[in-house]
Amino acid sequence: MFGAGGGTSAYSEVEDTDLVLLWGSNARETHPIYFHHVLTGLRRGAGMYVVDPRRTATARWARGHLALDVGTDIALAHGMGRAILDAGLENRAFIERATTGFDEYVRAVEPWTLEKTAEVTGVDADLIRETALAYARADRAQLCWTLGITEHHNAVDNVRALIDLALLTGHVGRWGSGLVPLRGQNNVQGGGDMGAIPNRLPGGYDVTDDGHRARFDAAWGSAIPPEKGLHLSQMFEAMERREIRAVYVVGENPAESEADVAHARALLGGLDHLVVQDIFRTATAEFADVVLPSCADWCEYEGTVTSSERRVQRVRKAIEPPGLARPDTEILCDLARRLGHDWGTPSPEEVWDELRSLSLDWHAGMSYARLEAEGGLQWPCPSLDHPGTPTMHTRLWERDPALRGTPAPFAPVVHAGPLDELSPEFPLRLTTVRRLDSYNSGVQTGGYTSPLRREEALCVDAADARALGVHDGERVRVVSRRGAVEAPVRVDAAARPGLAFITPHFSEQVDVNLITNEAWDPQSGTSEFKATAIRIEKLAVGARVPVAGA
């Protein structure tokens, strides 16, 4: 944010903060060790509000739980923004000094009275106001979010609405005040930092910036295309248009993880050539022409990963990889050689040092020796004598405009509900969630036996179950506009009337992405996993004997 794609705060700041606002994040289960830091903060007296459609384990630690309707985050954020403005609690000094676009923001939130916000979001107006004022009044506040914000068709707008709240109150760039997007994988941050996103070069440089691109061109001896590449969803569209005919998939399992997965599978199956490089023979690998077995980098090879607090840390080889598995870099260098480019056989440290020579602002100071000795470093770390940066954007508080740099822009984003709208035909909202002991499509966590694990089920509120005449454990048909799956029903106190949820962990039990919505955010390419319109149908009598039948 503000030109740097990473959270602004160190984890330890949440221990020193006065208010925690967790938005679309069930950190208790999905980021348990980060939540330890949150709990320390709570024990030291911080208050916490949780925004989540479900009554999650996280929400049960909160002072206030804002159980909004799925996909109404911008409405809620704007309603809070207006409540803060109405109370005169905006941080004038910060807004004037460090932001642009305030007037547009004020106009954008103007329609969002408490009454309207409550009506659109389903959250009690008093609670919205209480939360907004608590956030604004706190001397320090942390705003954290996860997939509940980003797995929507308007993910980036959602994020920007939250950033607006931080700008409005000055809760950024100070120790204890900041914005923390909690990343879902150990190197989402690092992958982006290394340029594995369509619009960035390694080190976060804009790919359209001629000056920086020239440095990379010179170092790599090759001309980098000056325009943004495609993100995942655009790639699938290009496959559909038959513009992309060959795909090289590294460490991703779209044949299970994509929304509307039947469609994705059809496209993968129709390619001229598919290469899959993975530690497992995944569902995607089943479609591949070539499978390149690779090491599990976190324990079978050397390198670095970057965490949600921008901390770069070393991963190391502890065990020998199985069979023919090889490190990703070796595979890539071999491939390059066969394509006529001799990249040599660089050691992991040599690869890293090349990055350091180009990522001048973020990584130049992070030698392997320092990463080893200092237990990781947080970027930006531009030189060997730089201590790393726990808190970002402190510059915004500088008195000297020159030091302050580019102001942070407000984004007058507009609320737009889920594209997969509820209707009489599809009256229930289904959202996908994750559980403590499992991970994404379950490829890795399926390997161990968890005592917490239960059969995958569609979790619904008791009232909905009653209304539908289904009982706990009964198998039902779950139908969306894209398809249908069968699943047992489980009554769960975390659901609420009109809201059902399920995990993506066990596609072999319930292949939920057959029914999720492929609609994606044009800015990030993230699909609308969090909002599917469904109906629940009882199975025909005799189709299956219910477990606890009459």
Partner 1 sequence: MDLVLLPDAATEAERAAVDAAVGSPGHERRDLLLPAFHAVMDAVGWISRGALSYVCDRLHVPPAEAYGVATFYALFSVTPRAPRTAHVCDDVGCAAFGGEDLCAALEERLGPPGSGEEVTWTRSPCLGLCERAPAVFLQRASPSAEDEGNPEATRALASSPHDDAPGGDHAQIAPATADTVLRALDGEDVDGPDPVVSTPQAGGPDLELLSRVGVVDPGDLDSYRAAGGYAGLRRALAVGSARVVDEITVASLTGRGGAAFPTGTKWAAVAGSPEPEKYLVCNADESEPGTFKDRVLMEADPFALVEAMTVAGIAVGARTGYLYVRGEYPAAERAILRAVAEARRHGYLGDDVMGSGRAFDLEVRRGAGAYICGEETALMNSLEGRRGEPRAKPPFPTVAGLFGKPTVINNVETLVNVLRIVAEGGPAFASIGSGRSTGTKLFCLSGVVARPGVYEVPMGTTLRELLELAGGVPPDLRAILLGGAAGSFVTPDQLDVPLTLEGTREIGATLGSGVVLCFDSTTDFAAVLRRIAGFFRDESCGQCVPCRVGTVRQEEALARIVRGREIGGRTIELQLLRDVDRVMTDASICGLGQTAASAVRSALALGLIGGS
Partner 2 sequence: MTTVDLGTIRRLVSVTVDDVEHRAPEGATIMDVLDDAGADTPRLCQAPNLTPVNACRVCVVEVEGSRPLVPSCARKVEDGMVVRTDTERVAHSRKMVLELLASANDLSEAGDDVARWQIEYGADPERYGPPGPPAAAGERGNRHAGHHGIPDGETRATVAQPVTVDNDLYVRDYARCILCYKCVEACGTDAQNTFAIAVAGRGFDATISTEFAVPLPDSACVYCGNCIGVCPTGALKSVAEHERREAGTWDPEGETVTTTVCSFCGVGCSLELHVQDNTIVNVTSPSDHSVTHGHLCIKGRFGFQHVQNVASPGEH
Give helix 73-86 / helix 125-137 axis angle, nearest 10°: 60
107: tokens are: 């106009």
436 sits near partner 1 (criterion: CB under 8 A): no
Contact residue for partner 2 among 48, 259, 283, 515 (CB under 8 A) = 283
Segment interacting with partner 1, rule: CB under 8 A, options 7-15, 54-62, 165-173, 474-482: 54-62
48: which 2 tokens?
A: 């916490």
- The CA distance from 347 to 201, in Å, is 22
Q: Are 455 and 488 in contact (CB under 8 A)?
A: yes
Interaction between residue 216 and partner 2 (CB under 8 A): no
Q: With CB cut-offs between 5 and 8 Å by kind, which of partner 2, partner 1, none does residue 60 bind?
A: partner 1
The verdict on 60 binding partner 1 (CB under 8 A) reads: yes
Q: Does 447 bind partner 2 (CB under 8 A)?
A: yes
Residue number with CB closer to partner 1 (45 or 221): 45
Cα(267)–Cα(525) distance, integer angstroms: 17
Q: What is the rounded distance in angstroms from the CA atom of residue 184 to the CA atom of residue 146?
A: 8
The one among 185, 208, 357, 383 contacting partner 2 by CB under 8 A:
185
Q: Which of 2, 49, 61, 301 binds partner 1 (CB under 8 A)?
A: 61
Q: Binding partner 2 by CB under 8 A: which of 88, 222, 225, 320?
A: 320
Q: Which of 437, 472, 486, 537 binds partner 2 (CB under 8 A)?
A: 437
In angstroms, what is the minimal distance from the CB of 503 to partner 2? 12
Binding positions for partner 1, 3-42, rule CB under 8 A: 28
Cβ proximity to partner 2, 123 vs 510, nearer residue: 510
* Window 494-533: residues binding partner 2 (CB under 8 A): 506, 508
CB 169 within 8 A of CB 136: yes
In the complex, least distance from residue 46 CB atom to partner 1, rounded to whole angstroms: 15
282 contacts which partner out of partner 2, partner 1, none, CB within 5 to 8 A by kind? partner 2
Residues touching partner 2: how many (CB under 8 A)? 71
Torsion of CA 493, 494, 497, 502, to 10 degrees: -120
Q: How distant, in Å, are the alpha carbons of 52, 141, 396 from that of 20?
A: 14, 6, 21
Looking at the Cβ atoms of 116 and 317, the one nearer to partner 2 is 317
The one segment of 187-195, 409-417, 476-484, 533-541 that binds partner 2 by CB under 8 A: 187-195
Q: Does 394 bind partner 2 (CB under 8 A)?
A: yes
Would you say 446 or 546 has its CB closer to partner 2?
446
- Gap between the Cα atoms of 36 and 45, Å rounded: 14
Q: How far apart are CA 161 and CA 149, in angstroms?
A: 10
As a whole number of angstroms, the distance between CA 203 and CA 356 comes to 9
The token pair that represents 355 in the structure block: 């990055």
Binding status of residue 153 toward partner 1 by CB under 8 A: no
Candidate residues 45, 340, 402, 448; the one interacting with partner 2 per rule CB under 8 A: 448
Of partner 1, partner 2, none, which one sits near residue 347, judging by CB under 5 to 8 A according to partner kind? none
Pair of tokens at residue 320 = 């020998």
**Which of the stretches 234-242, 267-275, 313-321, 422-430 binds partner 2 when contact is defined by CB under 8 A?**
313-321
From partner 2, partner 1, none, which one binds at residue 33 (CB under 5 to 8 Å depending on kind)?
Answer: partner 2
CB of 313 to partner 1, least distance (A): 29
Kindly indicate which of the ranges 52-60, 90-98, 121-129, 244-252 contains the residues binding partner 1, using the contact rule CB under 8 A.
52-60
- In the beta sheet, which residues pair with residue 181? 145
Query: Which of 32, 111, 269, 497 lies at the binding interface for partner 2 (CB under 8 A)?
Result: 32
Residues 350 to 409: which contact partner 1 by CB under 8 A?
none
Please list, residue by residue across 80-113, b when 16 or more beta carbons sit within 10 angstroms of its beta carbon and e when fewer do.
bbbbbbeeebbbeebbebbbebbeebbebbeebe
Give the C-alpha separation, 382 to 364, whole Å. Answer: 5
In terms of Cα–Cα distance, which of 11, 6, 7, 8 is closest to 41?
11
Give me 338's structure tokens: 């066969």
Residue-wise DSSP of 171-193? -SSBTTBEEEEPPSSTTHHHHHH
Residue number with CB closer to partner 1 (1 or 494): 494
Return residues touching partner 1 (CB under 8 A). 28, 57-58, 60-61
